[in-house]
Chains A and B, each alone.
Chain A
């Protein structure tokens, strides 16, 4: 079985974000980029599935040359092959999904793992979109995954609990924290990954339907009130919550 995993390359979650001179995107200067944290769960699940059932794994990323770093990391963790869909321009989620769907089809992958969300634009949509474009079944925000023949069973997180979801291959699963513990790349893996060739392809163009008009900083919150330094401040705090904020 061919298993694909889609990975995005994003600013480290601790990075300071400055808005670029275009006023529409971030200034990448000084920002460290990493494998999207949720995609590490996706990579791990692809590896575990292959270890159990055999098959071949491929990591796919759409973006500029810098995304090769993230693909290299996937290879170092043990993914067999990597494809860069090279495109430096802005693409909205649906346009990304269209390019990924084309490549997944070309790869003939029957099982595809995504992260639940890319921590740059925080959309949490590309996996679901791609599945619909492919006509694959899809479970999003999965915290467990089992494959029995062609039967897929997952638990997905919802408000106040979990849903148990059943479906069949071909399928897309988007990974939530809790699905597994991603492994560290071994030294051997890192050395082997360096020697591997990352295949580059030109994805087909498609229109963007979502245009960024402006990027801005959230309004700075007014400095709050320090009510006190010990429990003697509690009655005043409770009064403020009740009378000023009117929330309790």
Chain B
């Protein structure tokens, strides 16, 4: 019997999707290995914590303080670590988001627990969890076993299915946290205005050097608008100053796993593929039939993006109308 604990990430009081994915994964592991699934959330007001019951969580511990609405690495680390120790939690799951990737290693060090981060699969063999994670920019995968008594896993967002929740409600226990450790404090969150981030989008439309000039990205933005997609970019166009670094997909940009990734005028260099190869469907439009992007694309058009893209926008508008 293992005691599973899921860290629930909230931003602006809303639970992140990756936390539902982690909760469902913990429930799946507990079904195979036996054990209980509890969750811990840190923040001020957090909506719908009881809905985690629908993903298999029995009880949610809400550690509350009004100074914790925004992330504080120090306070969150201390709160989660202390809670996990006192509660006797053995296997702790995080979503490998920007918060999860910051927090999970700190908790792992504090608990002296082994950590498998950015997992893309969790399988059970006998009584052991085998975590699969990409290495070398996705050119290889490793299967790892965490052998310490306490174990920490962080799951790559968008890879694990959260499934359809049941109507079950989790019990929610609120504890007020006194004088949290705010030695590292977020003083401001600067939102990129009204823009969907590639790391969170279900659909991404990315442009590369084949787009020829920064002003041509207006077409990509138009398509994004119609599709509800985020705009991405290759490093070549970010380095050229056409697009902000926040949009860069790849080894030195963001790693994304959207349902649909559309690459326009992107050659598909290995460092770009590193960031998007785990996308469920990949579409490429490129005039070079030998461009490496076609090797991983599900659908491709070998053609001039300036001829194909306007028609594509038009057709998508038709079906969305």
Contact = CB atoms under 8 A, between A and B. Distances in A.
A124 B98 contact: no
Nearest to A139: B184
A168 B183 contact: yes
Given A138-B73, A247-B259, A26 B190 contact: no
Contact of A247 (B141, B252, B281): B281
Interface stretch (A1-9, A42-50, A197-205, A208-216): A208-216
A213 B145 contact: yes
Interface centre among A137, A143, A248 (most CB of B within 10 A): A248
A14 interface: yes
A132 B300 contact: no
Interface residues of B, number: 93
A164 interface: yes
B301 A210 contact: no
Contacts of B251: 13, 119
Interface stretch (A67-75, A77-85, A183-191, A230-238): A230-238
B50 interface: no
Contact of A13 (B108, B117, B137): B137
Interface string B152-193: 000000000000000000000000000000011111111110
B145 A125 contact: no
B299 A140 contact: no
A248 B114 contact: no
A120 interface: yes
Contacts of B46: none
B189 A163 contact: yes
A226 B302 contact: yes
Given A161-B191, A235-B315, A125 B108 contact: yes
A234 B312 contact: yes
B136 A120 contact: yes
B199 interface: yes
A224 B143 contact: no
Contact of B136 (A26, A38, A155, A229): A26
A210 B147 contact: yes
A114 B277 CA distance: 27
Chain A interface SS verdict (over half):
mixed
Contacts of B315: 234-235, 238
A129 B106 contact: yes
A137 B299 contact: no
B101 A140 contact: yes
A242 interface: yes
A103 interface: no
Contacts of B294: 224, 226
A133 B105 CA distance: 11
A19 B143 contact: no
Interface stretch (B23-31, B33-41, B206-214, B303-311): B303-311
Interface string A137-156: 11111010000000000011
Interface of A: 11, 13-14, 16-17, 19, 24, 26, 37-38, 92-94, 97, 119-126, 128-133, 137-141, 143, 155-168, 177-178, 207-218, 221, 223-231, 233-235, 237-238, 240-242, 245, 247-248
6 contacts: A13-B137, A123-B105, A123-B118, A139-B73, A160-B200, A217-B141
Closest 10 CB pairs of A and B: A209-B114, A125-B105, A160-B197, A209-B148, A231-B311, A132-B109, A128-B105, A164-B188, A129-B109, A17-B139
